[in-house]
């Protein structure tokens, strides 16, 4: 059997709700395992890499402790315990997500896009986990916690459709206002860039995973708003009741 050497087919880009897939295993590299295709999202854009398991035909299970991008273009590495037994390169496995964790990432990631629509200021940083998310804004004026929370939950309650679409490198260059992040620019050079479109509310480049409608996020709470410098306001969100 031949080990996997081609770029990983990233199934999560077209279907973020796919929880499992059949895949062919490649050789381990730098603490990670290559697959020919995967539903696992690699860490990037403030979103953590997915965890889960690889199930072999013989019944053995290898935990995936995290997922990150490899050194080669399009390579995705599934991080495993170096001491864990692995199926032979070229053999078939079922890649299975920790879905509850991933779904919470999707909900919070979409919510952060809505937050960037509520607060009209450039984004200087951001991060999310399964429990909370935050964005930093280049802003020197005060933000009212209650007002931000009310506007954010109103957008969520509208149950707006969320969908990916693509734009050419040239079209993106002609519309610099689509890029809200100051320090991280979307990858170009491949001819097109992926956008996430929250209907009528937000449109920006993003390679992460998102829910299909804003109502799926459920209520959220603005935990705190902090000043992180003269021109930096950090807004931290947590989930309210589950949707």
pLDDT digits (tens), the chain, 243 positions: 444 457 899 999 999 999 999 999 987 665 789 999 999 999 998 999 999 999 998 889 999 999 999 888 889 999 998 888 788 889 999 999 999 999 999 999 999 999 999 999 999 999 999 999 999 999 988 899 999 999 999 999 999 999 999 999 899 889 988 988 877 777 766 789 999 999 999 999 999 999 999 999 999 999 999 998 778 999 999 999 654
Model pTM score: 0.92
- Which of 29, 41, 153, 144 shows the shortest CA–CA distance to 98? 41
Task: Return the CATH fold of 102-239.
Answer: 3.30.980
Greatest extent of the chain over all pairs of C-alpha atoms, in Å: 61
- Which of 180, 203, 230, 201 shows the shortest CA–CA distance to 118? 201
Length of the chain: 243
CATH entry, 9-97, from 2.40.50.140, 2.60.40.420, 1.10.760.10, 2.40.30.130: 2.40.30.130
Could you give phi then psi for residue 151, rounded to 5 degrees?
-65, -40
Going from N- to C-terminal start, the domains of the chain cover 9-97, 102-239
């Amino acid at each position: 059997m031949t080990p996997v050497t081609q770029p990983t087919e990233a199934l999560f880009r077209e279907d973020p709700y796919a929880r499992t897939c059949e895949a062919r295993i490649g050789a381990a590299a730098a603490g990670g395992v290559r697959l020919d295709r995967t539903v696992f999202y690699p860490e990037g854009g403030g979103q953590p890499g997915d965890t889960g398991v690889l199930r072999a035909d013989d019944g053995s299970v290898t935990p995936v402790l995290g997922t990150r991008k490899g050194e080669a273009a399009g390579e995705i590495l599934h991080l495993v315990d170096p001491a864990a037994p692995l199926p032979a390169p070229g053999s078939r496995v079922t890649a299975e997500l920790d879905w509850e964790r991933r779904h919470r990432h999707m909900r919070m990631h979409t919510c952060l896009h809505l937050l960037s629509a509520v607060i009209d200021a450039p984004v200087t940083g951001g991060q999310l986990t399964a429990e909370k998310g935050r964005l930093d804004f280049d802003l020197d004026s005060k933000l009212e916690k209650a007002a931000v929370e009310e506007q954010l939950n109103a957008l969520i309650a509208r149950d707006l459709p969320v969908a990916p679409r693509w734009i050419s490198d040239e079209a993106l260059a002609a519309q610099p206002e689509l890029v809200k992040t100051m320090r991280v620019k979307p990858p170009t050079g491949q001819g097109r860039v992926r956008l996430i479109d929250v209907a009528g509310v937000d449109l920006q480049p993003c390679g992460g995973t998102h829910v299909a409608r804003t109502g799926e996020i459920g209520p959220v709470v603005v935990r705190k708003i902090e000043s992180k410098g003269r021109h930096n306001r950090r807004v931290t969100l947590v989930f309210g009741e589950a949707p």
